[in-house]
Amino acid sequence: MAQARVRLPPAGPTAATAFLSGSNPRSAHISFSPRPTSVSLSAAAAANAPPPPIVVVGSANADIYVEVDRLPLVGETVAARAGHSLAGGKGANQAACGGRLALGPTYLVARVGDDANGRLLEGALEDAGGVRIDRVARAPGTPSGHAVVMLMPDGQNSIIIVGGANMEGWAAGVESEDLDLIRKAGVLLLQREIPDWVNMQAAQAAKSAGVPVIMDAGGMDAPIPGELFRLVDIFSPNETELARLTGMPTGTFEQISQAAGECHKMGVKEVLVKLGSQGSALFVEGEEPIRQPIIPATEVVDTTGAGDTFTSAFAVALVEGKPKKECMRFAAAAASLCVRVKGAIPSMPDRKSVIKLLESVQVE
C-alpha cells in the first residue's frame, strides 16, 4: 500500500489539551453540531475550521462470527446457527467510529497481511466512510490478524483473537511519517492488540507534542509496562479488565473506585471505566467520580464493538473541547446505537444519528 506523507496544519494547542488541563468551560447542555453539508472559503469558515485529527494506532482483524445458543463446555462440540466474516479489531473499530462521528479527519495506523483478509479489512474501512487508511500498511509474509466471535442470542459475546500482522508486522517500528502524524493530532487512541513497544513509541511521540493519549485496556492479558502506563492521560478499561490489571475486586462501585485509585497510583490521572448495563464512570485523580447511565437500546442485537464505540466517541467529543460529562453522554448515545446492529464496524453510528438520539432523551 502506498505510504504517502499526510499534509496537516501546523501543530499547536488543541481543544483536547485545554480540556485535560481543566481550562475548558462547562456547558449546561448538549451542544454538538452536525457535519457541515458544504464547504465555504469565507473568513468565517476559516475561523470555524474542523478540530485536529484523531489518530488511532492499533489492530485490524477479520472477525469470524459464529452465532451459538451457548458456549461449549470443555471437550464439547456445539453447532452454530450461522457464521460469517466481518471486519473488526479494536483499532479498526475505533477508527471507523471516529470517521463517522468526527468533524475533522480520523487516521488509522495499522498493519494487515498481504492476503484476502487484508483486502477485506481495507475495503471495509474504505466503505465505513470518513476514516483515512493511507497509513495502513501491508506486512508481507505475515497473515492478517483475525478473531473468532461467539455471539449468544442475548447479544453478549466471547472473543478469541489471533494477532497475525497486528503483532508481527511492525518489524521496522513506527514509521517517521506515522510519528509526524501523531504529533499533529488532537488525540491519540491506543489499545492492547498490538505490541506494547509500538504503543510506547506512539505515546512518546504524542507526549512530546502535548497530544492527549487515551488507551483502551482491551487486548492482551498481561500487565501494562509502567513506562507505557505513565504516558497515558486517560485509561479506559471495563470492570473485568480493571480487576485483572489491578488485582482488585470490582464487584461494587466502591470497589471500582478503589481499583481506579490504584491506577492513579500507577501514574495515570484519569480512568474511564465502561460498566456495561451500569453505564460508565470517569475517575479523575483528586475529584469526585462522574457517573453516566446507559441510554437504553430499543433492542440489543450484538455488543461487539460497543466498548470501542464508547471510547472513540468520547475521544471525538474530547477533541471538540466538550466538558467531561458531555463527552460521556455523547459516548453513551453512540454505544446505545452500536448494540442495535450486528457486527463491529457495520454497527458504528453516524454523527447525525447520535445527535438525534441525544435530542430525543433526557439524560440526567
pLDDT in tens, 216-238: 998 888 899 999 999 999 999 99
The C-alpha atoms of residue 307 and residue 234 are separated, in whole angstroms, by 15
Sign of CA dihedral 48, 51, 52, 53: negative
Q: Which residues does the annotation mark as catalytic?
A: 308
Going by pLDDT thresholds of 50, 70 and 90, the confidence category of residue 21 is very low
Q: Which residues contact 191 (CB under 8 A, 6 or more apart)?
A: 58, 59, 90, 91, 94, 215, 216, 218, 219
The C-alpha atoms of residue 255 and residue 282 are separated, in whole angstroms, by 14
DSSP state for residue 238 in the 8-state scheme: B
Mean pLDDT of 144-157: 88
Sign of CA dihedral 161, 162, 165, 167: positive
- Owner of C-alpha cell 494477532: 163
The C-alpha atoms of residue 66 and residue 152 are separated, in whole angstroms, by 9
Q: Catalogue the long-range contacts made by 278-286 (C-beta closer than 8 Å, 24 or more residues apart).
A: 279/332, 280/310, 280/328, 280/331, 280/332, 281/253, 281/256, 282/324, 282/328, 283/257, 284/324
Mean pLDDT of 279-283: 97
Q: For residue 362, what pLDDT is reported?
A: 64
Is pLDDT at 134 greater than 80 in this prediction?
A: yes
The C-alpha atoms of residue 233 and residue 347 are separated, in whole angstroms, by 28
Mean pLDDT of 308-336: 96
